[in-house]
Amino acid sequence: MARPGLYTLAGNQQRAQREGRAMGRHENYPESTTLRTQDVGPIADYVIYIYNIANMPHLVEQPPYFPKFRIPACPPGKKFAFTTIPAYINESINRAGTFEYFTQKADGRKYATCLLNPIALPTDKWEGQLTKWSAADGVVDQEGNNLNELGCFWSLTPPDDIEKLQEEINIFTDILVRKCESLILDAEGLYANEKTRSLIGPLHHFAMDYRNKQAIWHTPAFHMVMCPNCGEPVREGIPFHRNSMGEKCIIDLEKYKAHMLRQRAIEKELETGVEGVTIEKVETGSFSRPLNAEEVGDSPAPKTRKRKTA
């Protein structure tokens, strides 16, 4: 006998609310990913966010629960990207001496800690990410895979709680800066000896890009995109460029306007000789015509003489 359709909402709608919130956040941060949680077991009113503040994606392989876990890179100009893992992980456990398996809920935070730093002990404390773990504590052979040092961290702070999140970001930015500086020192040491130069790897280059540094062994990597007007390769985020025909090609009108207004304001300032203009500005700035000494206000003496004779 056919049963009547009973398409109603579950009595407990917490999960629907939570997923709704997660979807909303996802809309606001399209570069990020979220994971659907299962519909069984204890209901957590939170998910665990895995944040990345650096422009480097990671693929963590920790089977069986995380055979391929992708952490998205933070795009240029953004503060972070994130992905999520559920508050609880279903651990599959073998009953000793049998072929029986049962599942057990484990705190996802413990997994998050080890996901980002394989040598950490599985702790549910956020501060565990700041601990200096050594290989003696956890999995051997995994030292150097500490993503906590490379701008990744887990948190229960959602992306819309900007104030609290910013504090956490600051902590991991400091760690990332220190790590990059030490990687750069490392690379310089490697470069000094011809035999070790080939050991300079992607992490060293990442550190140089993050610190905005240049060296003989590193040329900065600019993200090139196609100009939407003329199709020529241009650096991402620039308001305009000159194309191969020598014409000015405007990509971002708003930014271009702001740039031109600022440039005109400075030129006007120089012409009228109103304060705030130093010679340094003239030397380093890129103005269309060279300014003479009078406009710069460099030589007041001949000026006064001129005025007297006039």
- Closer to Zn ion by Cβ: residue 131 or 229: 229
Pick the closer one to Zn ion by CB: 229 or 263: 229
Span 227-246, contacts to Zn ion by CB under 5 A = 227, 229-230, 243
DSSP state at residue 145? -
Contact 257, 241 (CB under 8 A): no
Residues in contact with Zn ion, shown as a per-residue x/- string from 87 to 116 under the rule CB under 5 A: ------------------------------
Give least dist CB 249 to Zn ion, A. Answer: 3
The answer to whether the beta carbons of residues 83 and 97 sit under 8 Å apart is no
| Separation of alpha carbons 201 and 199, rounded Å | 6
Segment interacting with Zn ion, rule: CB under 5 A, options 159-167, 215-223, 224-232, 253-261: 224-232
Output b/e per residue, 188-210; b: 16+ Cβ within 10 A.
eebbeeeeeeeebeebbbbbbbb
Of 145 and 243, nearer to Zn ion (C-beta) is 243
* Integer Cα distance of 99 and 95 in angstroms: 7
What is the number of helices (H) and of strands (E) in the chain? Answer: 8, 11
Residues in the interface with Zn ion (CB under 5 A) total 5
Q: Does 22 bind Zn ion (CB under 5 A)?
A: no
When binding is defined by CB under 5 A, the residue of 190, 238, 249, 282 that contacts Zn ion is 249
Distance CA 296, CA 207 (A): 41
73 binding Zn ion? (CB under 5 A): no
In the complex, minimum distance from the CB of residue 263 to Zn ion, in angstroms, rounded to a whole number: 20
Binding site for Zn ion (CB under 5 A): 227, 229-230, 243, 249
